[in-house]
Amino acid sequence: MRRGAVRRNVTAHAFFLPFLAVFVIGVIAPLVYAINLSLYQEKMIGGTVFTGLDNYTKAFKDELFHVGLGRVALFFAIQVPLMLILALLAALAIDSGRLRAPGVFRIGIFMPYAVPGVVAALMWGYLYGDRFGLAGEIGDLFHTELPDLLSEHWMLASIGNVVTWSYVGYNMLIFYAALRSIPEELYEAAEMDGAGAFRKAWSIKLPALRPALLMTTTFSVIGTFQLFNEPSILQQLAPAVITTNYTPNMYAYNLAFDGRQFNYSAAIAVLLGLVTVLVAYAVQLVTTRRERML
Amino acid sequence: MHRISAGRGVARALTATTAAALALSLAACGGGSGGGSKDDGKKADPAAVQGALDKPAEITFWTWVPNIDKTVALFEKKHPNVKVHVTNVGQSKDQYTKLTTALKAGNGAPDVAQIEYFALPQFALTKSLVNLADYGAADLKDKFAASAWSQVNVAGGIYGVPQDTGPMAMFYRKDVLEKLGATPPKTWEEFTALAKKVHDADPNNYVTYVDPGDAGTSNSMVWDFGGKPYTVSGTTDVTVNLKDDAGAKAYANTWGPLIKDKLVDSTGSWNDEWWKSMAAGKYALWMAGAWAPAVLEKNIPQAKGQWAVAPMPGGVSAENGGSSVAVTTQAKNKEASVAFAEWLNSDPEAVKSLNSEVGLFPATKALLEDPGFRGADVPYFPGQKPNEVFADMSKAVRPEWQYLPFQVYANSVFKDTVGQALQPGGDLTGALGSWQDRIKSYGKEQGFTIK
């Protein structure tokens, strides 16, 4: 008996090992490495010294870091709900069975996700241009001047537009998949009870979407707090608007690769990771509590 | 509702790991904390440099200069035993990022790399580059223009061989000035007057532009106005004086009011919109290094014949851009690498090729003074002798400019500070002060003695 159990255990571990190896190499090792890196300070003059938590105390007082963090938080608060509502409406519309060619809509809305983020930012950058870009031409057409979409006041909204354009389709697909997994019987039962299309959407579809909503929100938390590609590309067009600390990730990048402050940059990255985990956890808490209340 | 809680479990696991992993992958890119240069215990031997090219050797060379393989092919023909692998890993900052990472990791850096003058002190002081003086490079001094040679001298060593230079000149649109009945400004007062004239004639047009993200050009402007904001003595003492430096002040006093009155445009440059503006004649002037003709021809060939070249206002000049070729401490065959870098940039045949086939503006005296070079026809500028103007500007470069040993970082935060003032409503003098503050605090953190 015992030998059999051991053998079973060995087999189980053998199956588990490949995953464990990749997990350790790909996730745990870089994490440990970055945390270790963040405890030192390397100077151009004077070499590397162990400084304990100094980098973290510095980050807590670093206004440049806070400004970037505040900016992505604002972005999260406005762009993510907008994007998810749009994705939700699209998924409900496609699922309703009332569209003539739902496949075309599905692919059409999803298509931008297939465009690499850098290309999307470049493309929108051209469109935003107020001289030779689409925005400029529309302005000329109506003999008015459109607001400069790449100016300080509009930049965050312009970036939000690029991100929304890219990710609505992706989130729509997750919602749509969740909707497809609702058993037909539920709808039939609801119809028997006299429920119309809106009633079905409200009482069956939306509750069933909650896990999908949690997942998309979580991904959005991660994506938003790590915002990097879009502002980096648009920086070429509006260098004074997008500063080196525009988002925390850009700040970390600038510290590491322009300033060679790899250690402080690692500390910023660790803190950013923690903030991301905290926000994602808070999102889960809120969702779970609602679920219990229902 | 079992399905829902299962979904939540998955989501939770994803949250914790993905979020953290994504955040930290960035930090992981930073590379090893140790590494850097390793002394291989061998003594530098200047005598072995020349002979090194007769023995079999392989050299990797990072450069982003287009068409440089033509000159390298010449080298390989002359020295068939040496194989040079030319790799373009990205331009300027992109290459420095990769180079920094490779040097930090302890391997993966090329033997030879193109490094712009402004970035040279940073790599030299972090002991990433071979001091070419140990290999007898001091003998090359007389071959190069003074403005080029002084820029490869860092902290008492020689850390690169000058490849090209970028003495600033003034490019102007003949058609635009003709229409206004104006001539290219000879002084900065005339420049200011022209700015009003251009903008009054058509509010969409400007005398020129400022780029809030372009630290290099602003540094060159301060240099042109006689500034010496950065002084480095020894390897650890750095003085930063952008606030009170006379040249920086003169720069701010000339450009500040123009920006305030919206007489110069504020725009990002080198992007599609900017090139379209350049082609359309939106800017009457462009002050840029002598490398500009090649770039103009490549990006706006349709404007051929519309641009002309004149000396800078005031008749003095500054360097704007330009690169050296350096040997990294990771080079496997240092002697051959040094010999290659020297040949590429000082052999008469090589420098001719670099100029005529690659399109680089020369750094060697011999070519700058060569009547054939000075009088050469440049198809983009029909009926003119632009090289004559450039060569004169090269001589007129103000001496004794120095870059910071961490200019790459300083330039990167330019847009956060001075860049903010290079747009309407900005306070240029104040912004130079805040740039100075950022530079100083960084320098202190890096262990320099900052004054």
Amino acid at B327: V
Tokens of B261: 């009155």
Residues B398, B275 share a domain: yes
SS3 B162: strand
Tokens of A106: 């599905």
Give the C-alpha separation, A226 to A73, whole Å. 11
Which residue carries 């870098």 as its tokens? B341
DSSP readout, B74-98?
HHHHH-TTEEEEEE---STHHHHHH
Residue B422 DSSP label: S
pLDDT of residue B8: 36
| Secondary structure tally for chain A: helices H, strands E | 15, 2
pLDDT of residue A65: 97
A203 interfacial to chain B (CB closer than 8 Å): no
Residues B268, B199 share a domain: yes
Residue B83 pairs with which residues in a beta bridge? B58
Give the C-alpha separation, B259 to B422, whole Å. 7
Q: How many domains does the structure of chain B reveal? A: 2
Give the residue numbers spanning the domain of B191.
166-320+391-450
pLDDT tens sequence across B241-258: 999 999 999 999 999 999
Give the one of B26, B273, B415 whose C-beta lies nearest to A132's C-beta: B273
Which helix (DSSP H) or strand (DSSP E) does residue B286 occupy?
A: strand B285-289
pLDDT tens sequence across B353-394: 999 888 899 999 999 999 999 999 999 999 999 999 999 999
In this prediction, the residues of chain B whose per-residue pLDDT falls under 70 are 1-43
Residues B332, B224 share a domain: no
Residues B158, B175 share a domain: no
Residues B170, B144 share a domain: no
H-assigned helices in B323-427 = 334-346, 348-356, 365-368, 371-374, 386-395, 407-412, 418-421
pLDDT of residue A294: 54
Give the C-alpha separation, B57 to B84, whole Å. 8
Give the C-alpha separation, B14 to B68, whole Å. 48
Task: Detail the DSSP E strand segments found in chain A.
Answer: 40-43, 47-50
B265 interfacial to chain A (CB closer than 8 Å): no
Give the C-alpha separation, B306 to A168, whole Å. 47
Tokens of B356: 């005529």
pLDDT of residue B18: 39
Give the one of B125, B270, B408 whose C-beta lies nearest to A258's C-beta: B408
Give the C-alpha separation, A14 to A28, whole Å. 20
SS3 B236: coil
Q: Domain with B152 in it: what CATH number?
A: 3.40.190.10
Residues B284, B173 share a domain: yes
**CB-CB contact of A46 with A266 (8 Å):** no
In this prediction, the residues of chain A whose per-residue pLDDT falls under 50 are none
CA distance B4 to chain A (A): 6
Residues B137, B96 share a domain: yes
SS3 B315: coil
Residues B156, B132 share a domain: yes
Q: Classify residue B25: in a domain, yes or no.
A: no
Please indicate whether, in this complex, the C-beta atoms of A222 and B273 are within 8 angstroms of each other.
Answer: no
Give the C-alpha separation, A279 to A291, whole Å. 19
Residues B307, B184 share a domain: yes
CA distance B334 to chain A (A): 24
Best interface-test mutation with B: which of A182, A258, A294 has the largest number of B CBs within 10 A? A258
Give the C-alpha separation, B228 to A95, whole Å. 68
**Which B-chain residues 30-69 have CB contacts (< 8 A) with chain A?**
30-31, 33-34
Residues B149, B87 share a domain: yes
Give the C-alpha separation, B341 to B303, whole Å. 36
pLDDT of residue A260: 85
Which residue carries 């219990």 as its tokens? A292
Residues B239, B153 share a domain: no
Residues B253, B193 share a domain: yes
pLDDT of residue A292: 63
Ramachandran area for residue A95 (φ above 0: left; ψ -120 to 50: alpha; else beta) = alpha
Residues of chain B neighbouring A45 (CB-CB closer than 8 A)? 125, 235-236, 446-448
> Domains in chain A, start-ordered, CATH in brackets?
58-293 (1.10.3720.10)
